[in-house]
Amino acid sequence: MIEPKIRAVPGFSFVGKNVGIVDSSLDFGCVVADRPCAAAGVFTRSSMPGAPIIVGREHIASGRLQAIVVNSKNANVATGARGIDDARAMCRGLSEACGMAPELVLPASTGVIGRRLPIEKIKAAFAGLAGELADDAAAAERFARAIMTTDVSPKWVSGKVGNATLLGVAKGAGMLEPNMATMLAWFMTDADVPAELLRPMIQRVADRSFNRMSVDTDTSTSDTCVVLANGKAGPVDLAQFEQVLSEAAIYLAKKMARDGEGATKLIELHVVGAQSQDQARKTARSVINSPLVKTCIYGADPNWGRFIMAIGKVFEYEVSREKLRITFGRGEDRRVLDAATVEAGNMDLDALRQLLKGPEVHVELDLGCGSEAYHVWGCDLTEQYIHINAHYTT
Amino acid sequence: MIEPKIRAVPGFSFVGKNVGIVDSSLDFGCVVADRPCAAAGVFTRSSMPGAPIIVGREHIASGRLQAIVVNSKNANVATGARGIDDARAMCRGLSEACGMAPELVLPASTGVIGRRLPIEKIKAAFAGLAGELADDAAAAERFARAIMTTDVSPKWVSGKVGNATLLGVAKGAGMLEPNMATMLAWFMTDADVPAELLRPMIQRVADRSFNRMSVDTDTSTSDTCVVLANGKAGPVDLAQFEQVLSEAAIYLAKKMARDGEGATKLIELHVVGAQSQDQARKTARSVINSPLVKTCIYGADPNWGRFIMAIGKVFEYEVSREKLRITFGRGEDRRVLDAATVEAGNMDLDALRQLLKGPEVHVELDLGCGSEAYHVWGCDLTEQYIHINAHYTT
């Protein structure tokens, strides 16, 4: 029961504005709750995490947060001790503006790596900020737009669990690969869920959603997925809450893949019939990340041999070509390629080409050696990805 | 002592011609020795190897080969039992044309995966073939051109070891990733080196050369690196022979990377100061394969933060940002980025941009945590890679 809509959540206020980090577009946002919230999150596994990740991990350790402060256009990564100071200064600025402890603020930054934040511009943004906060959907939308970098569209989703509301806001289009925590994604809810239950729940949810999505195999230094629960709506059915949170996270993950830098298509890939989860996961990642698979899907070129190649790259597992079945598409139009159709030369490449032309490409790989399954989402690789990334800082 | 030249090798004859597999370009070649040779090779680690790999492994097991038969435009991969029959038919055709046992012939095919070979056209090519073979450099050049697929240029190298000559001929431009045996590369020599010494030697040589080269992380189903030694020139100094063979293989590997699909630049990346070979190798591969690193080098965009990101993707090792040093370029023009230059904002991005503009980009990453080193070769990622691969079969 999720909706692709932005919705206010009782007890949460938002701001999104320009503070002039690079140009005059929206580049700064805050989420402020009217009370401390139960909080849990997962962060990038990068060994080179950004300064906001280091400070954010400290602050969320208590299981309580009341606010988020974020800027785009500059990631505050690889900026040394001064970067840490700058991330703390962002938390202090918001805490003083709104009257809370700085340890209740989660910092985040996204954009170019290796440049110092223009911290004076950010500090100036806190003057009068308390008066700019608003608890309506329009303010939440400005917040969602302020965190965009190469995103083509803002990303939000909402849902209801009993009397409680859930809002998810995210950004992410490149430097995305499933072997990580996630990109920037925050969930706000007025459900009452204690932090010790939120912690394992957000990890499970990330593993079903953001960790199954890949744009380009590059893992960000800034990935963050955090949920804040202010408790105003009282307790909820926990299984139902996790279900809605999962659906919301999957919706945002698919939106990131579909919106991947330069992408024209969402790819949904299911690996079934694997002998282990490890084989299923490694095979899914090998195929979804293969540049030759991604480019042939972009060109709607029915070059199905590239799937064979990408399956073969998982050296540690044997797969029998006689048992392997590849299914393109779903429903009545689907085309199955197995040893018999290949032996008979009966592949109907024109039908395959038509299936690859749509905005969503569904592929199932049945490895024929067990009963384990895994699925991932990705996107095609186009000239536009190169264009966006060849001159990113210049 | 290698030279970027094609050279005849006493006792080896060549043919390169068109047999009409797809169009009228060169698509078929043979190497025939005047006697059985000591032979050793390494092949793809793909779990979906092509039919010629399966047959080739059988034939080379004896340590003796006398000929190579190869076609381009069709890889004879994922073609089932008929594909195996076709690979054997190619060996039989050449063996009957030249009077040798079919088990002395190594088959190879390169091109599209998943289509049956037009075997009748290939069988027809053997009529009169014995008369077309020639032992001069011009014939060897036609052979080298007949095995090209998306290669921009043919690839050869030669060298002398004592009285013996070594010739290496290779192809490869895409579906190239170092975690493999190699692409198609054959070495012919008249040195007398027994197969039991050639076997470990070709593995060591591949590990220093082809296995350190990456174009696009996709591992071919057809990779082959084989050396044939006919012994005509008598014994040679083995250490010197291995040295020349290594230099020749490195020359061909760098040529493949420079000639990578759509590439405009060769990237040479050295990782030093690692705590283990595993860390050095994984970090080198993470960086050389990062699409965001490859695209910023393409655009000569001094976005050095992407190197930090790609180092950070090797989750299992800690790297201290304070000890990390990145050096762009070699010699007097080199630029060093370490914690101090970053803290001081003293990066001179214009100098960095100039270094990235050349046809060869050299980068050294000193991880500052040990004394292990590893180096790799790669190439940039451009719109042309997408263009080549989006419509490969159509």
* Chain B nearest CA to A324, separation (Å): 10
Inspect the interface and report whether the beta carbons of A309 and B48 lie closer than 8 Å. yes
In the predicted model, residues of chain A with pLDDT beneath 50 are: 178-182
Contact A59, A106 (CB under 8 A): yes
| Smallest Cα distance from A293 to chain B, Å | 9
pLDDT at position B361 is: 95
pLDDT class of B175 with cuts at 50, 70, 90:
low
Residues 6+ apart with CB under 8 A from B99: none
Compute the Cα dihedral for A214, A215, A220, A224 and give only its sign: negative
- The CATH architecture of the domain made up of B266-390 is Roll (3.10)
Contact between B392 and A318 using a beta-carbon 8 Å cutoff:
no
Q: Which of A178-192, A348-362, B192-206, B376-390 has the lowest mean pLDDT?
A: A178-192
Q: How far is B45 from chain A (nearest CA, A)?
A: 6
Mean pLDDT of B133-154: 90
Q: What confidence score (pLDDT) does residue A355 get?
A: 92
Contacts of B94 (CB under 8 A, 6+ apart): B30, B32, B67, B69, B102, B105, B126, B129
Inform me whether the C-beta atom of residue A113 falls under 8 Å from chain B C-beta atoms: yes
Q: Greatest CA separation found in chain A?
A: 73
| From B44, B298, B312, residue closest to A46, measured CB to CB | B312
Facing A291 at nearest CB: one of B116, B218, B310: B218
Residue A182 is predicted with a pLDDT of 41
Cβ contacts of A343 on chain B, cutoff 8 Å: 80-82
Could you tell me if A359 lies within 8 Å of chain B, comparing CB atoms?
A: no
Option in A80, A309, A393 nearest B218 (CB):
A309
pLDDT reported for residue A384: 87
Question: Is residue B320 predicted with pLDDT exceeding 90?
Answer: no
Residue B179: its pLDDT value, please? Answer: 37
- Look at residue A91 in the predicted model and tell me its pLDDT: 97
Q: For chain A, say whether B173 makes contact (Cβ under 8 Å).
A: no
Mean pLDDT of B188-217: 86
- Kindly state whether A353 is in contact with chain B, defined as any CB-CB distance less than 8 angstroms: yes
pTM of the model: 0.81
Of the candidates B245, B314, B249, the residue with the CA atom closest to the CA atom of residue B280 = B314
pLDDT at B124: 96
Judged by CB atoms closer than 8 Å, whether chains meet at B113 and A306 is answered as yes
Q: Which three-class secondary structure state does DSSP give residue A319?
A: coil
Half-sphere exposure of A337 (CA within 13 A, CB side): 26
Chain A residues inside the 8 Å CB shell of B116: 345
For an interface test with B, the pick among A44, A306, A348 (most B C-beta atoms closer than 10 Å) comes out as A306
Predicted confidence band of residue B181 (pLDDT cuts 50, 70, 90): very low
Locate CATH 3.10.20.340 in chain A: 266-390
Closest CA to B255 of B144, B373, B146: B144
Q: Name which of A113, A302, A391 is nearest B306 (Cβ-Cβ).
A: A113
CB contact under 8 A, A113 and B47: no
Partner-chain residue, chosen from B304, B313, B392, that has the shortest CB–CB distance to A303? B392
pLDDT, residue A243, reads 92
pLDDT at B120: 96
pLDDT at A29: 95
Higher pLDDT, residue B12 or B178: B12
**Contact B334/B327 with Cβ under 8 angstroms?**
yes
Q: Which residues of B touch A392 (CB under 8 A)?
A: 296, 299, 301, 303
| B13 or B216, higher pLDDT | B13
Taking only the tens place, the pLDDT of each residue in A126-168 is 999 999 999 999 999 999 999 887 777 888 999 999 999 999 8
Establish if B266 touches chain A: CB-CB under 8 angstroms.
Answer: no
B350 touches chain A (CB under 8 A): no
- Protein fold of A2-258: L-amino peptidase D-ALA esterase/amidase (3.60.70)
Q: Kindly report the nearest CA distance between residue B359 and chain A, in angstroms.
A: 16
B394 pLDDT band, cuts 50/70/90, is low
Query: What pLDDT is stored for residue A392 in this prediction?
Result: 67
Residue A259 forms contact with B (CB below 8 Å): no
A332 — phi, psi (to 5°)?
-65, -30
Residue A126: the pLDDT is 96
User: Could you tell me if A303 lies within 8 Å of chain B, comparing CB atoms?
Assistant: yes
CA distance A288 to A295: 11
Residue of A nearest to B323 (CA): A80
Which residue of B lies nearest to A394 if distances are taken between CA atoms? B301
Query: B345 and A112: CB-CB below 8 Å?
Result: no
A219 in B contact zone (CB under 8 Å): yes
* pLDDT at residue number A391: 75
Average pLDDT, whole number, for chain B?
A: 88
The Cα A187–Cα A168 span in angstroms is 4
Query: CA-nearest residue of chain B to A117?
Result: B345
The residues of A carrying an active-site annotation are 182
Residue ranges of chain A that CATH labels 3.60.70.12:
2-258
pLDDT of residue A176: 56
Q: Among all residues of chain B, which has the CA nearest to that of A346?
A: B115
- Chain A residues lying within 8 Å of B221, measured CB to CB: 308-309, 312
